[in-house]
Structure 1
Amino acid sequence: MEPSKKDWKLFKDKIGSWQESYMEKLIKEYMTFLNDDLPASTKFWELEKKIKQDKKKPGVILELRKRDMLFDIIRLINDGVITMDNLSDFTDELRENVKVLQERLNYEI
C-alpha cells in the first residue's frame, strides 16, 4: 500500500499544521490542569509525566517516511490529532486504504 506521490506531498504539507493544532490543544489541556485546585507539587509532577507521554505521540513528533504514511495517519486518527474529514483532499484510494487498514488493526487488537 505505497501512497501516491500526490498523497505523500500533501501529507508532508499538512502534517506541520496538524501537529501545531494538536500541540495547541495539549497546551490548553495543560493550562486547565494547572488551574485546578491541587498542590503545586502534584501539578508539577503530573504535568511532567503528561508532557513526557505526549511528546512521544505522532501529533507532536513524527519521523516522516513514505512507507509508514498509512500507519502514521491511523496513529494520528487514533490519537485524535486528525479525523477522516482531514483526509478529504487525499485520493480516494488513500482514504479507502486507511479505512481498511484501520478496520483490520482494530479487529486484531
Structure 2
Amino acid sequence: MTGGGHWGSSGELLDAIYRTKPKVHLFGHIHEQRGHWDKAGSQYQGGVEYRPNPHSGQVFRPNGPPPQNYPVEVESNNAMANQPSVDHSWTGVWAPQHIVGRPRVIIARKQPDGWHFASEA
C-alpha cells in the first residue's frame, strides 16, 4: 500500500496480480510497506518494518495488510536504504543513511497440492 492508499502501485500491476495470481510478489523501495506479509488461511500476518530511526520502535506509515482476496502467499518489500531528509521531516530525528531492514529468506515447500511459500526475517 502506498501513501496514495491503494494496493498494487498502478492499476495495470494490480490487474496483472489478480489475473495471474502469483504465489509470491517481491518488490522494493516503497517506504510505507517495507516489510513482509505471509498469508495464513485467509488472513495475512507480518507487517511494516521500515523504521526511519533505527533506534526507535516507530515505523513509517504503518499501513495494514493486503486485502483478504489478494492472491499471493508472500508479499515482500525488500531491503533498501532510508531517505534521511524524508525521514527527518516525518520523525523530527536526523539519522544517517542506513539499510532499513534485516535480510529475509523466502522458503519454498513442495506439498501435494503444489508449491507454497513463506518468508522469514
How does the TM-score come out when normalised to structure 1? Answer: 0.29
- The structure with the largest helix share of the pair is 1
- The structure with the largest strand share of the pair is 2
Of structures 1 and 2, the one scoring higher in RCO (CA 8 A, sep 6+) is 1
Task: Point out the structure with max Rg over C-alpha.
Answer: 1
How does the TM-score come out when normalised to structure 2? Answer: 0.27
